[in-house]
């Protein structure tokens, strides 16, 4: 009888913990690892495939911005990829609705209502809006605010606009 | 002596309060998880899904597991985050999955012109049942699967329309 009780309590605790964790990570904030070098040098500046798991950056993603979907130019966001909804990408917003963007492939696109243009900081190694076009803001899953790991890189993620892009 | 008594009384009261609020917090978490990952009631209205859904408002039971697992099929009525306004959700029917080619009338009220195109990878083609008053993939293009919030299971209100769709 004692063991059954103990097991029951254990599962109950696990479930409660899971529920609370899921709610907090959905509504407020969560911590996720950043894979790949598309956002270097902001994240993963020295990515070595040999020790990738050790040098990977972990970042805080806040979800409160999803209440209003108000983003500013230069925000780093997590969004689910438009070509595969199970995959999450991290990129920087470089244009908002109404802005004009010109790229080598598309010539001067106006961002439609409710969409945004995302690009990686590492322009040479990034699969982003330059290949799949503007993405709906509804795909955005959160805004990256801080780096929390590794210890020597702890700090705020700055909002900035890359100068290589031409805005009109 | 009396101070001590007050103190212990206050302590037990505080403990009760904390326990009570913890219970409420747990309940709210459970509510959030069921609402977002299992089923939730949603009120929808508007002309775009006539005659399947009423103009004045229906309450639907929406299930959230199958879009997460990618198990939506053509013909399903789905709840979708509107591509041109992320704060709005719309109800439409899926007519084509990735790789399918869809044929549609570009402007049914004015002409018989139609177009055929292929739905790109990771996207779906959604259309309202009322092709004359629906803003859907015909204007917005195919939409990414990530915008699908849930699949409509049952109608629970009005009572005469109770049942699966």
Average pLDDT of the residues in A22-40? 89
Q: Could you read off the pLDDT of B84-109 as tens digits, one per residue?
A: 899 999 999 999 999 999 888 888 88
Which whole-number Å values give the CA distances from B91 to B31, B32, B74, in the listed order? 23, 21, 14
Q: Is residue A3 part of a domain?
A: no
Q: According to the model, what pLDDT value does residue B126 have?
A: 93
CATH number, domain of A67, equals 2.10.109.10
Report chain A residues whose CB lies below 8 A from the CB of B81. Answer: 136, 138
Helix (H, G, I), strand (E, B) or coil at B101: strand
pLDDT of residue B113: 84
pLDDT digits (tens, 9 = 90+) for B104-142: 888 888 888 888 989 999 999 999 999 888 888 988 899
Has residue A149 been placed in a domain? yes
Q: Give the distance from residue B24's alpha carbon to the nearest chain A alpha carbon, in angstroms.
A: 12
DSSP A18-58: HHHHHHHHHHTEEEEE--SSTTTTTS-TT--GGGHHHH--E
pLDDT at A162: 58
Is B143 in Cβ contact with A135 (below 8 Å)? no
Are the beta carbons of B61 and B152 closer than 8 angstroms? yes
What pLDDT, in 10s, does the model give residues B46-65?
A: 888 888 888 888 899 999 99
The residue among A66, A82, A98 with the most chain B CBs within 10 A of its CB, best to mutate, is: A82
Which residues of chain B neighbour A136 with C-beta distances below 8 Å?
81, 83-84, 86, 143-144, 147
A38 belongs to the catalytic site: yes
Q: With 60 as the cut, is the pLDDT of residue A50 above it?
A: no
Domains of chain B as residue ranges with CATH:
37-164 (2.10.109.10)
Q: Is position A60 within any domain?
A: yes
Work out the burial of residue B155: count CB atoms within 10 Å of its CB; fewer than 13 is exposed, 13-18 middle, 19 or more buried: buried
- List pLDDT tens digits, range A127-165: 888 888 899 999 999 999 999 988 888 888 888 775 544
Q: Per-residue pLDDT for A168 more than 80?
A: no
B121 touches chain A (CB under 8 A): yes
Residue A136, domain member (yes or no)? yes
Residue with tokens 């917003």: A93
Mean pLDDT throughout A88-98?
A: 91
- Confidence band of B165 (pLDDT split at 50, 70, 90): confident
* A92 — pLDDT class (breaks 50, 70, 90): very high
- Whether the per-residue pLDDT at B12 is higher than 50: the answer is yes
Q: What is the pTM of this model?
A: 0.84
Residues of A in contact with B32 (CB under 8 A): 22-23, 26-27
Q: Is A22 a domain residue? A: no
Mean pLDDT, residues A119-125: 85
pLDDT for residue B63: 92
The fraction of chain A above a pLDDT of 70, given in percent, is: 89
- Whole-number percent of chain B with pLDDT over 90: 54
Number of domains in chain A: 1
For B35-44, which contacts have Cβ atoms below 8 Å and span 24 or more sequence positions? Answer: B36/A26, B36/B64, B37/A22, B37/B64, B37/B65, B37/B68, B38/B63, B38/B64, B38/B65, B39/B63, B39/B64, B39/B153, B40/B64, B40/B150, B41/B156, B42/B79, B42/B89, B42/B150, B44/B79, B44/B91
> Is residue A104 one of the residues assigned to a domain?
yes
Whether the pLDDT of residue A62 is over 90: the answer is: yes
pLDDT attached to residue A53: 58
A14 is a domain residue: no
Least confident range of A44-48, A118-122, A153-157: A44-48
- Domain extent for A64: 30-156
Is A91 a known active-site residue? yes
Cβ-contact B74, B66 below 8 angstroms:
no
Instruction: Give the model's pLDDT for residue A160.
Output: 79
pLDDT value at residue A151: 85
ipTM of model: 0.81
Domain assignment present for A142: yes
Please check whether residue B128 is in contact with residue B92, taking contact to mean a CB–CB distance below 8 angstroms: yes
10 Å Cβ neighbour count for B123? 23
Query: What are the residue numbers of the active site of B?
Result: 48, 92
């Amino acid at each position: 009888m004692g063991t059954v009780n103990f097991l029951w309590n254990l599962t109950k605790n696990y479930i409660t913990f899971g529920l609370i964790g899921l709610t907090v990570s959905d509504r407020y904030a969560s911590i996720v690892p950043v894979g790949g070098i598309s956002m270097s040098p902001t994240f993963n500046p020295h990515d070595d495939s040999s020790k990738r798991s050790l040098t990977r950056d972990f970042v805080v993603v806040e979800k409160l911005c999803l209440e209003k979907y108000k983003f500013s130019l230069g925000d780093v966001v997590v969004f689910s990829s438009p070509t595969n909804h199970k995959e999450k990408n991290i990129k920087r917003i470089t244009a908002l609705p109404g802005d004009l963007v010109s790229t080598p492939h598309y010539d001067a696109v106006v961002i439609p209502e409710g969409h945004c243009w995302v690009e990686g900081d590492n322009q040479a190694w990034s699969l982003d809006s330059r290949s799949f076009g503007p993405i709906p803001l509804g795909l955005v899953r959160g805004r990256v605010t801080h780096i929390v790991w590794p210890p020597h890189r702890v700090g705020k993620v700055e909002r900035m606009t890359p100068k290589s892009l031409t805005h009109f | 002596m009396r101070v001590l008594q007050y103190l212990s009384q206050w302590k037990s009261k505080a403990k009760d309060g904390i326990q009570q609020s913890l219970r409420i917090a747990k309940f709210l978490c459970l509510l959030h998880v069921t609402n977002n990952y299992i089923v939730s009631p949603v009120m929808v209205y508007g002309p775009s899904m006539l005659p399947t859904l009423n103009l004045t408002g229906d309450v639907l039971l929406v299930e959230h597991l199958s879009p997460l697992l990618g198990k939506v099929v053509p013909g399903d009525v789905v709840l979708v985050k509107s591509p041109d306004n992320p704060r709005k959700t719309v109800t439409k029917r899926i007519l084509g999955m990735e790789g399918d080619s869809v044929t549609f009338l570009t402007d049914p009220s004015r002409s018989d012109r139609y177009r055929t195109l292929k739905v790109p990878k990771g996207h779906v083609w959604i259309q309202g049942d009322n092709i004359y008053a629906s803003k859907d993939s015909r204007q917005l293009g195919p939409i990414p699967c990530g915008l699908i919030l849930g699949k409509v299971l049952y109608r629970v209100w009005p009572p005469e329309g109770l049942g699966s769709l």
